[in-house]
Structure 1
Amino acid sequence: MILITEFMDEAWVDWLRARAEVTYAPDLPDRPDALMTMVQTARALIVRNRTQVRGDLLGAGFTCVGRLGVGLDNIDMEGCAARGIEVYPAVGANTLSVAEYVVTTAAVLLRGAYMMRAEMEAGAWPRGPAGQGREIAGKVLGLLGYGEIARKTGALGRALGMEVIAADPYAKDFEGARAVSVDEVIAQADVVSLHVPLTEETRDLIDGAALARMKPGAILVNAARGGVVDEGAVCDALRSGHLGGAALDTFATEPLGAAHPFAGVPNLILTPHIGGVTAEANARVSEMTARRVAAHLGLE
């Protein structure tokens, strides 16, 4: 049995069903007891980012994990390796979707005028303030991390006239970007975009001190991993006006719950971890994952 614990393109769920028994239960991250019961008979597990593939779950007997995306911080990779469990991330399938998210949200935040609907509905005509928005062309796009998604983000930024700088101690080359240090990205960029995994090295990479070093009015976009930014510090920087805007797609706690710090914070875009999820990307990710899991099980 193939157990799919989070949402997947229905056409590729059906494609798997034509080849094997499939249990499709996309609400299982919210039902951990049911997940533990169902996984006992699974030969393969297909997940997104909310299913925690670790601990007792690893002893269930499945032989592979298909990851509908690329982040692996919800999967105990060492534990999987120790048990011979193969992990198949959908590398490259949602690259364009994330890159478009970064550049388009940055453009919206730079322009600013899109945030004035409430004033207009109240009868105001804020043409003066709305006309103070900034063009994306000529701005510096700073990328922290320079993997595949960051490179595509940089290419889209360059197409709109941005200068691209990047910092990544693990990058083999910086084609398309000027290589600088992390501190230089933070200090020089008009738009800072994060493209790093969540590790002890990157946790709270963008904290209050880093935000204070950013250019006044700069934009921050995090479509990487929650925990890479100090969310409270971002809110403080937005309230003070030092930070010109922020778009957060990933969070330290998902869903946010009642204790989040974001209520009433200006110039802030919040989205529910969908930077890499569009109709097109979901189909590509689902196809890649379905085919790799099927191949692992000898079903193709």
Structure 2
Amino acid sequence: MKDFDVIIIGGSSAGLSAGMALGRAMRKVLIIDSGKPCNRQTPHSHNFFTRDGQTPHEILTIAREQTLKYPTITLLHDEAIQYTPVTNGFEVSTISGKTFSAKKIILAAGIKDQMPDIPGFAECWGISAIHCPYCHGYEYGHQHTGIIANGEMAFELAKLISNWTKELTVFTNGKSTLTDAQQTIILNNNIRLVEDKIEALDHHNGQVTAIRLQNGAEIKLMALYARLPFVQHSDGALQLGCQFTEVGYIQVDAKQKTTIPGVYAAGDSTSPIRAIANAVNSGTMAGIMANLELIDEAFLPSR
């Protein structure tokens, strides 16, 4: 098959949930997935009913099996590299040289975190160097915890993470850009502030044990929070001319519509709330709304 009702870019939580909604609407769907989910290092996922504590791989395996039982859904392990608007829809070409067409596109490929130039950080990311206390904070509650951030982000993270532990150290990794008022509040809450440059993270199989500073000091830790810069995992939204938010997410409305007609987006590429439950919700919404648009286009007015 070369022609589909909807092509979905990305076969993780958002893409599969969009596919299931469309498969149950008996739509011909192609899901193109490169097999590189951003949570592939994460040992356990939380805050998702019926699957709390399972690995992302286990959850994804179940989701894929249940989605692909619908006969109108096809999963292709490939990478989409070219997106072209055509009459009545779009064409998508892949790195393997295949080209497909569809009336609608759902972008659900997620984002790629940009790792800081700190030895050991990438190995710990998603394991003990983490982004979300709602996903992982319970397991590291009341333990020695660090935050790598500066300025407004450091202040907001310090306030947030203090709900899970009072053993907190903020590492600005250079001169602090916190305001005097913010710094006073942080110190008054018994949160340590370290401005020295970071040399490396010491860890064992991704479990951080300490931060080593360039001045030779070593601070013991069990967990570390950071909010990393990111880029879109796919440049499909850019090629199609979709607008982005100021911080780089694909701009969508409440129906997961982008600013380009016929193009929807869901999951981490559209929202800072990086949780499986949120990805599933937005993916289902994108699938439903794409199907409703197809219905509206096919349902002819009376003559």
TM-score calculated relative to the size of structure 2: 0.33
Structure number with the higher helix fraction is: 1
Larger Rg: 2
| Greater relative contact order structure (CA < 8 Å, 6+ sep) | 2
Instruction: Give the number of the structure whose residues are more often strand, by fraction.
Output: 2
Please give the TM-score of this superposition, normalised by the length of structure 1: 0.34
